[in-house]
Amino acid sequence: MPLTLDLPQLPSPVRPEAADAAHLLTEEKIGPRDGAGKTCVVAMSGGVDSAVTALLMREKGYRVVGINLRLFSPDDEDGRANPCCGIPAMDDARLTCARIGVPFYALNMEAEFGRAVVDRFVDEYAAGRTPNPCLECNRHVKFRHLVERARLLGADCLATGHYARIVPGAGGAPHRLLRALDPGKDQSYVLHTLDQAQLGILRFPLGGLMKSETRAIARAFGLPVADKAESQEICFVGKRPYADFVAARRPDAARPGEIVDGVGTVLGEHKGFVHHTVGQRRGLGIAAREPLYVLRLEPAANRVVVGGKDEASVRSLVADGVAMIDGSWPSAPFSTGAMVRYRGALAPVEVRLGPPGSGEATVAFASGGPVASPGQAIVFYEGDEVLGGGTIREVTRG
Mean pLDDT value of segment 167-183: 95
For residue 297, what pLDDT is reported? 92
Residue 373 has pLDDT above 60, yes or no: yes
How many domains does the structure of the chain reveal? Answer: 3
Q: Are 138 and 283 in a shared domain?
A: no
The answer to whether residue 194 sits within a structural domain is: no
Residue 260 has pLDDT above 60, yes or no: yes
Name the residues annotated as catalytic. 137, 235
Residue 321: CATH number of its domain: 2.40.30.10
Q: Are 210 and 66 in a shared domain?
A: yes
Q: Is the dihedral of CA 125, 131, 134, 140 positive or negative?
A: negative
* Residue range(s) defining the domain that contains residue 274: 255-306
Do the strands 164-167 and 176-179 form a parallel or antiparallel pair, or are they unpaired?
antiparallel
Contacts of 22 (CB under 8 A, 6+ apart): 16
On whether the CB atoms of residues 139 and 120 are closer than 8 A, the answer is no
Instruction: Point out which residues pair with 348 in neighbouring strands.
Output: 337
The answer to whether residue 183 sits within a structural domain is: no
Q: Are 97 and 155 in a shared domain?
A: yes
pLDDT-derived band of residue 78, with 50, 70 and 90 as boundaries?
very low
Residue type, 41: V
Higher pLDDT, 384 or 243: 384
Distance CA 209, CA 213 (A): 6
The answer to whether residue 226 sits within a structural domain is: no
Q: What is the pLDDT of residues 1-33, one digit of tens each?
A: 333 333 333 334 444 444 557 788 989 889 899
Q: Are 276 and 210 in a shared domain?
A: no
Q: What is the pLDDT of residues 275-298, one digit of tens each?
A: 888 888 888 888 888 889 999 899
Residue 398 has pLDDT above 80, yes or no: no
Q: Are 279 and 328 in a shared domain?
A: no
Q: Are 342 and 268 in a shared domain?
A: no
Other CB atoms within 10 A of residue 182 CB: 18
For residue 394, what pLDDT is reported? 92
Q: What is the pLDDT of residues 122-138, one digit of tens each?
A: 998 888 888 888 888 88
Residue 105: CATH number of its domain: 3.40.50.620
Higher pLDDT, 218 or 1: 218
The answer to whether residue 189 sits within a structural domain is: no
Q: Are 335 and 275 in a shared domain?
A: no
Q: Are 300 and 342 in a shared domain?
A: no
The answer to whether residue 196 sits within a structural domain is: no
The answer to whether residue 318 sits within a structural domain is: yes
Residue 273: CATH number of its domain: 2.30.30
Q: Are 377 and 335 in a shared domain?
A: yes
Lowest-confidence segment of 47-61, 187-201, 280-294 by average pLDDT: 280-294
Q: Are 297 and 360 in a shared domain?
A: no
Distance CA 3, CA 20 (A): 41
Q: Are 265 and 143 in a shared domain?
A: no
Q: Are 155 and 274 in a shared domain?
A: no
For residue 59, what pLDDT is reported? 93
The answer to whether residue 170 sits within a structural domain is: no
Mean pLDDT value of segment 209-230: 93
Could you give the maximum distance between any two Cα atoms of the chain, in Å?
Answer: 72
Q: What is the pLDDT of residues 109-124, one digit of tens each?
A: 888 888 888 899 999 8
The answer to whether residue 172 sits within a structural domain is: no
pLDDT-derived band of residue 195, with 50, 70 and 90 as boundaries?
very high
pLDDT-derived band of residue 302, with 50, 70 and 90 as boundaries?
very high
Q: Quick one: what percent of the chain has pLDDT higher than 90?
A: 57
Residue 82 has pLDDT above 80, yes or no: no
